[in-house]
Amino acid sequence: MRRNIGNREIWSLTVIRDGKQDYTHVLCEANFKYGRTAEELAMFDVKRLPSGLIQLVEEHPFNLYEEALETGFVIEMTKYGSKMGGWMKFTAAIKMNSLNPFESPRGLYSNEIGSTIQFMRVGCPHDSTKLPNVIWIRVKELPLNYLAWACDNGVLSGDDSFQMKLDAWTDLPLLGNPEEIPTLILPGPSDNVLQFL
Is 34 in contact with 42 (CB distance < 8 Å)?
Answer: no
Predicted confidence (pLDDT) per residue in 2-45, tens digit: 555 544 689 999 999 999 988 888 999 999 999 999 999 999 99
In terms of Cα–Cα distance, which of 136, 82, 127 is closest to 109?
136
Is 65 in contact with 58 (CB distance < 8 Å)?
Answer: yes
Predicted confidence at residue 7, as pLDDT, reads 46
Please state, in angstroms and rounded to a whole number, the distance separating the CA atoms of residues 56 and 53.
5
Predicted confidence (pLDDT) per residue in 48-103, tens digit: 999 999 999 999 988 899 999 999 999 999 998 888 888 999 999 999 987 887 77
Predicted confidence (pLDDT) per residue in 101-137, tens digit: 777 889 999 999 999 999 998 876 566 678 999 999 9
Residue 146 phi/psi, 5-degree rounding, is: -70, -40
Max CA separation in the chain (angstroms): 54
Predicted confidence at residue 126, as pLDDT, reads 62
Please state, in angstroms and rounded to a whole number, the distance separating the CA atoms of residues 101 and 180.
28
Is 6 in contact with 80 (CB distance < 8 Å)?
Answer: no
